[in-house]
């Protein structure tokens, strides 16, 4: 099962298909990550904690 490279949370294959760069099998960041967010095609540090 795929998991987030940043926090290790489970993600669905559909999430990987939509949000991971082509050719990657695991996303670099997911909605469970508190310290990073997706920013277009990049990943950046979160400006504030989300949870």
> 10-38: per-residue pLDDT in tens?
999 999 999 888 888 999 999 898 888 88
pTM, whole model, 2 decimals?
0.76
What's the alpha-carbon Rg for the chain, to the nearest Å?
10
Structural domains counted in the chain: 1
Q: Would the pLDDT of 42 be above 90?
A: no
For residue 38, what are the domain limits? 1-51
Q: Do 34 and 48 form a contact (C-beta atoms < 8 A)?
A: no
pLDDT of residue 39: 85
Residue 13: strand, helix, or coil: helix
Q: Please, where are the H alpha helices in the chain?
A: 13-19
């Amino acid at each position: 099962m795929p998991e987030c490279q940043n926090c290790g949370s489970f993600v669905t294959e559909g999430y990987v298909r939509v949000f991971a760069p082509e050719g990657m099998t695991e996303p670099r960041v997911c909605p469970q990550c508190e310290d990073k967010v997706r920013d277009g095609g990049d990943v950046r540090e979160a400006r504030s904690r989300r949870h």
